[in-house]
Structure 1
Amino acid sequence: MHVLLVYAHPEPQSLNGALKDFTVKRLEAAGHTVQVSDLYAMQWKATLDADDTLERKDGEPFHPERDSKHAFENGLQTPDIAREQDKLRWADAVILQFPMWWFSMPAILKGWVERVYAYGFGYGVGEHSDTRWGNRYGEGTLAGKRAMLIVTAGGWESHYSPRGINGPIDDLLFPIQHGILYYPGFDVLPPYVVYRTGRTDETRFSTICDALGHRLDDLWKTLPIPFHPQNAGAYDIPECTLRADITPGEVGFAAHVAPPALRVAAKG
């Protein structure tokens, strides 16, 4: 299988750097082909702006959505954007690896998403009508591929528990897993999270790698997070709100995750 690892940490000798190297070696040892987009090493341009379109009419104001659509449809994207889109097309699975900074991903990785997910590639795909609202949330250009997060956090695991001070880790990662990954069609696997990174000695690092290794070995066996697909009947269209009988009593992020048994039954 082909695996793309999109990696966002500025220090090669960090814990993240060691985990990135371990991940590549483990996947390659299992026979997979791996490409790494090391965003800091690539000096990735994080800002989405008018320079992302090779040809623009002089004097016209920059419009992110319109300009992105025009560039994508007419082969006018900058080469760095087009290369990353080609990597995504090539990949059977994508891993986003990053440290949690200020409750989200580093800006450089967010910038990768904003620039690479062009209109017509990452969004703006499919029919919008009274029965369908685009090919998204379970459908889209990246459907059929798998995705997983590898995340490091300085805080204790209890800090990210359901009643922890930082908020539940599933809630913090929801915009990434449901929005950035599930939106364009990925099957999203549960994340691999390392807590208390400042307390990692050789013994603990070995334990972390053992657990991560098992997750990587099972990359094509692990059941995805059972998000409700948008166009399969769980949502009223075009309102895009859950029907009253779907995960009744749940609100917020949790409402958009189906009990695993229901997801299995729906797949037959």
Structure 2
Amino acid sequence: MKVLWILAHPEPRSLNGALRDEGLHTLKELGHEVRESDLYAMRWNPVVDAADFGHDPARRLVVGAASERAHAQGRLSDDIAAEQDKLAWADTLVVQFPLWWFGMPAILKGWFDRVLVQGFAFGLTGERGQVRRYGDGGLAGKRALVITTAGARRSGLGPRGVHGDLEDVLFPLLHGTLWYTGVAVVPPLLIPSADRHTPAGHPAVLAELRERLRDLPTTPAIGYRHEHGGDYGTDLVLAPHLAPGRHGLDVHRTDRGGPPTSPSR
């Protein structure tokens, strides 16, 4: 595999730092190629603005159109272009962050905002003129593993946990960002009770990480439905014969709400 490891944590001596270090070591030991984006160490700018696109600040900025033009004309800022080069190189992404207020840290959200521009990761059309998204898109063919630490106990982020099921909590990232742009996502790795971890407890957590990384090439992806696989109507609503009478995020998974679909390009 060619792995891009994206880390969003401010402290390299933290549990997240230990996970990153062990993860990179394990991947290299297994013979995989690895590149890294350590966003805090890079002092990554998370804020989208006109300078990203070489846009005249005196003119009204329409982000989608400006980003698409800049990408097509090779005028994106150097930091964005460098991250896009890493993405183009990689066939696998590891996205690692602490779960803060039920989402990713702002610096990581800003990485997605600035790097996955229109014309690069989305806003593309297929051979028949259909919009390429949800299982298709500029990042189609890549896979991703999300690793997140949380202060909550594992049970609290389970199917009946007070915080909500982890895959539901991460749905905006797993489905709305990664799957939307074509990336197949494997089940996320949760490291619970992270604020109560001490270095003495790291070996068990690191062993769990190593196992997930060893299995990553063959781990089945979450069975999200393809938009153009026949499961959705022109109104983008799931067909009534699939998961009848059910609502919620699970209906968008073939492994929980009906037969699998395949992309139509």
TM-score (norm 1): 0.93
Q: Does 2:243 align with 1:243?
A: no
In structure 2, what is the Cα distance between the partners aligned to 1:254 and 1:12? Answer: 36
Computed over aligned residues only, the root mean square deviation of the Cα atoms, in angstroms, reads 1.9
Q: Name the residue aligned to 2:95.
A: 96
| Counterpart contact for 2:225–2:231, Cα < 8 Å | yes
Q: Name the residue aligned to 1:221.
A: 218
Q: Name the residue aligned to 2:181.
A: 184
In structure 1, what is the Cα distance between the partners aligned to 2:155 and 2:216? Answer: 26
Q: Does 2:186 align with 1:196?
A: no
Q: Name the residue aligned to 1:85.
A: 84
Q: Name the residue aligned to 2:116.
A: 117
Partner amino acid, structure 2, of 1:17? G
| Counterpart contact for 2:134–2:227, Cα < 8 Å | yes
Q: Name the residue aligned to 2:153.
A: 156
Q: Does 2:253 align with 1:257?
A: yes
| Counterpart contact for 1:5–1:35, Cα < 8 Å | yes
How far apart are residue 222 of structure 1 and its match? 0.4
Q: How many residues align?
A: 262
In structure 2, what is the Cα distance between the partners aligned to 1:250 and 1:147? Answer: 28
Cα deviation, 1:131-166, whole Å, max 9, x if unaligned, reads 874111111111111101000001111221222221
Partner amino acid, structure 2, of 1:117? L
Q: Does 2:209 align with 1:212?
A: yes
Q: Name the residue aligned to 1:75.
A: 74
Q: Name the residue aligned to 2:141.
A: 144
TM-score (norm 2): 0.94
Cα deviation, 1:53-97, whole Å, max 9, x if unaligned, reads 12x346211111111111111111001101111111100100100
Q: Name the residue aligned to 1:27.
A: 27
| Counterpart contact for 1:132–1:231, Cα < 8 Å | no
In structure 1, what is the Cα distance between the partners aligned to 2:71 and 2:230? Answer: 31
> Where do 4+ consecutive residues of structure 1 move more than 6 Å?
none
How far apart are residue 266 of structure 1 and its match? 5.9
In structure 2, what is the Cα distance between the partners aligned to 1:109 and 1:77? Answer: 19
Q: Name the residue aligned to 1:7.
A: 7
In structure 2, what is the Cα distance between the partners aligned to 1:138 and 1:58? Answer: 35
Q: Name the residue aligned to 1:41.
A: 41
SS in 1 for 2:190: strand
How high is the sequence identity, in percent, across the aligned residues? Answer: 41
| Counterpart contact for 2:148–2:189, Cα < 8 Å | yes
SS in 1 for 2:254: coil
| Counterpart contact for 1:124–1:134, Cα < 8 Å | yes
In structure 2, what is the Cα distance between the partners aligned to 1:192 and 1:39? Answer: 20
Which deviates more, 7-16 or 166-175? 166-175
Sort the Cα spacing of 1:152 and 1:58 in 2 relative to 1 into closer, same or farther, 3 A.
closer
Unaligned runs of 5+ in 2: none
